[in-house]
Copies of this chain bind each other. A is one copy, B any other.
Amino acid sequence: MPSPLSLGEIASTLGGRVVGDPDLRIEQVGSLEHAGAHQIAFLASARYKARLAGTRAGAVVLAPEAEALTALPRIVSDDPYPYFARLSQLLNPTVSPQPGRHAACTIDRAARVAASARVEAGAVICAGADIGERTWIGEGCYIGAHSAIGADSRLYPSVVVYASCRIGARALVHSGAVIGADGFGMAQEGGRWLKIPQIGRVLIGDDVEIGANTTIDRGTVDDTVIEDGVKLDNQIQIGHNCRIGAHTAMAGRAGVAGSANIGRRCTLGGAAVVLGHLSICDDVHISAATVISRSIRKPGTYTGMYPFDDHASWARNTALIRHLADLADRVRALERRGKPRNKSDG
C-alpha cells in the first residue's frame, strides 16, 4: 500500500497549483465514478463534467479551464493527463525484487546474473546470457544463450527470449511475449518451401514495454531493431528485419510485416497492419484496423477502416463495390452523352 501524501506534498513534488485544503491526504488515484474520500481522480475532458459533478473523490486533477467546474480540493495542471500519470507513479512506485535465485530455477554456470537481480521458480537462464542489476526474471521465463537483459528490467512469468537477443534497461515484458523466434523466411522451389535460416538477432533499446503474447521475430541475416522508448501492447506481431523508431507506440493486435521500417514517434491503432518492406516516416499516426499498403513519406494521420452498418444496409451497399468501375464508366458515359448535345444545342 502506498503511503498517503497531502495535496501540498504532491504539488511540491510534481508541480501544479493546489486549490482548497493543501493538507488533505490522498492514498490512491481513482476514477471519477468510483473514487472515495481518500482518492484523487482526474478530469480528462470537459465532456465528463457530469461525472465530476457526481464524484465522491476527495480531490481532482484538472486543467485551468475546468478549474471552476468543482468546489472539491483540486490540483490545477496545464497538462492533467501526464500529471495524473506521474501522480499515480508517485503513489504506486515500482517494486524492486528481492535479490536472489529461487531454488527451482535453472541458471547455466556460464551465465552472468547480477547479484541484485532476481530469478524466479522455473526460469531458465542459458549459457552466456547476461541479466542486469535489479532485473527481475519471472517464473517460467526462458533466456536463451548469449542473450542480454539490461538493468532494472522486469520480465513477467512465461516470457521467452531466444538466443543472442538484447533487451535494454528498464524494459517491461509481459507474459507470453516471444522475442527472437525465427522470421518467416522461405524460398519456394518446385512447389515446396525451403527454410532460410534466420541468423539475425532482435535488438531492443531502453525503456521499451512489450505486451502479453506479443511476438518479435529475429532478422534473417541483419537484425530486427526496436529503438528506445517503443511501447507495444498485447498480441502485436513484428516481422523479421523490421526497424521500429524510438517512442513509437502500437495498440493491441497491430502487426508489422517483415522488413518494414517505421519512424519515430509514430502510433499504430489496434489491429492496424503495415505490409512488408514499406517505409513509414516519423510522426505518422495510423488509425485502428487500417492496412498500410504503400510507404508513407509525409507525417499525418492515415485511415482505412471499412464502415460497418446494419447487416441489410451493408449487404446492399457492399454488393456495389464489386461494380464501382462499371458505375464510374456509366457516369462517364452520361457526361459524354451530355456534352455533344450541349454542342448541338448551341
Spell out A's residues near B (CB within 8 Å): 28-31, 33-35, 79, 81-82, 84-86, 88-89, 91-92, 102, 104, 106, 120-122, 124, 138-140, 142, 156-158, 160, 162, 172, 174-176, 178, 181-182, 184, 186-189, 191-197, 199, 209, 211-213, 215, 217, 221-222, 229, 231, 233-235, 237, 239, 247, 249, 251-253, 255, 257, 265, 270-271, 273, 275-276, 286-293, 300-311, 313-325, 327-328, 330-331, 334-335, 337-338
Contact between chains at A311 and B303 (CB < 8 Å): yes
Residues of B contacting A308 in the complex (Cβ-Cβ under 8 angstroms): 286, 290-293, 302-304
20 new A-B contacts, CB < 8 A, other than A181-B212, A235-B237, are: A28-B199, A89-B196, A106-B121, A140-B140, A174-B181, A192-B247, A212-B215, A212-B217, A239-B252, A287-B311, A289-B291, A300-B311, A301-B311, A302-B308, A302-B309, A307-B322, A320-B328, A321-B324, A324-B324, A334-B334
Bound Cα distance from A273 to B253, whole angstroms: 10
Bound Cα distance from A172 to B334, whole angstroms: 60
Residues of B contacting A315 in the complex (Cβ-Cβ under 8 angstroms): 303
Chain B nearest CB: distance from A173 CB in Å? 10
Residues of B contacting A318 in the complex (Cβ-Cβ under 8 angstroms): 305-307, 321, 324
Q: Interface centre among A237, A315, A331, by most B CB within 10 Å?
A: A237
Contact between chains at A310 and B301 (CB < 8 Å): yes
